[in-house]
Amino acid sequence: MILRMTLDAPIAGYWDGGMKSTFDFEIDGSPRQDAQGSYIRVGSWQANHWFHVAMGKTIKATLANARRRLAARVKRSGIGCRFEYIETEPRYFERRAFGAVN
């Protein structure tokens, strides 16, 4: 599953290809444990940005945690955006973290 973030206005950043307004985020790592519970890495090659979020019970719940974190960051910048979930075949890290399709 992919979390697609579409900004209202294109932005420039540390990537090739000029200004962009669409970024796809996906689970990119194995689950880890700390004092607060389980977490996993989520990121986007297009945005050149990765971060950790709390694990949810499903892939979509985990990406919802990422969506909330991204939305808060975008809100502070003053740029509007919208999100959508795109169903895909489970990828390696999704299968490793959640087992069979959730």
- Unique residue bearing structure tokens 């989520």: 42
pLDDT at 100: 67
The pLDDT value given to residue 101: 55
pLDDT digits (tens, 9 = 90+) for 52-70: 999 999 999 999 999 999 9
The pTM of this model reads 0.87
Structure tokens at 59: 């892939």
Enclosing domain of residue 88: 2-98
Give 37-50 pLDDT, tens digit per residue: 999 999 999 888 99
Instruction: Work out how many domains the chain is built from and give that number.
Output: 1
